[in-house]
Structure 1
Amino acid sequence: MARLLGVDIPNNKRVEYALRYIYGIGPVRAKLICKEAGIPEEMRAQELNEEHINKIMTVIADNQFKLEGDLRREIMSNLKRLSAIKSYRGLRHMRGLPVRGQRTSTNARTRKGKRKTVGVGQKA
């Protein structure tokens, strides 16, 4: 199992798809990296040797992609900044509600979590 940037990429997948396991690399970047590194489309991750891995790392370094820890840290700092200045988006993030204007009277279950039924209490 090859390791890139501290992430184990699966052996049985094609390199283009295996690179997507790295946080910050999606379909377009994976294709670009493979093209610039000169890796054939049908090559599997288990067939990568040290030379190929070094080429992939140099392509990532040359393009200065923010990946893994740096990207996570930047996203978290952006969310903390929004929360600190008490912007609308920051408040929505803090409360765990949809951020981009979706309706919440129905739906929004992914953000709000499982339904909490509020019933009428009994008098003692």
Structure 2
Amino acid sequence: MTDTIERTETHRLIASNKVEGTAVYNLEDEKLGTIVNVMIDKRSGQSDYAVLEFGGLFGIGSDHYPIPWEMLTYDTDKGGYVVNLTKDQVSGAPRYSRDEAPEYSDEYGRTIYGYYGLSYPML
């Protein structure tokens, strides 16, 4: 079954299991972290957030930072995503510990999108 997913991917589509673990870089070519989850809207099927694991050392002491999916651009040369954020901007962003996932409510979504200066999508 895995072979089928890999063969049917296109230049535009990627399987979710390949997104998890993908590196995220900033415009200065610094690796910010890796994607640990993709949050998908159940009704629309659209990806809302990439959850970035950032900070710590070798995953110890790192937190999870939801980033609106629309902020990410895939860079084939890097084999990862690029986002226009500095390490300081990510450090100050809404986050949660690895063991305490939040409820992704509309209120939480507005907080995340607001931090990045974006309008929260009302579906």
**Shorter chain as normaliser: what TM range?**
under 0.3
TM-score of the superposed pair, with normalisation by structure 1: 0.24
Larger radius of gyration: 1
Larger helix percent: 1
Larger strand percent: 2
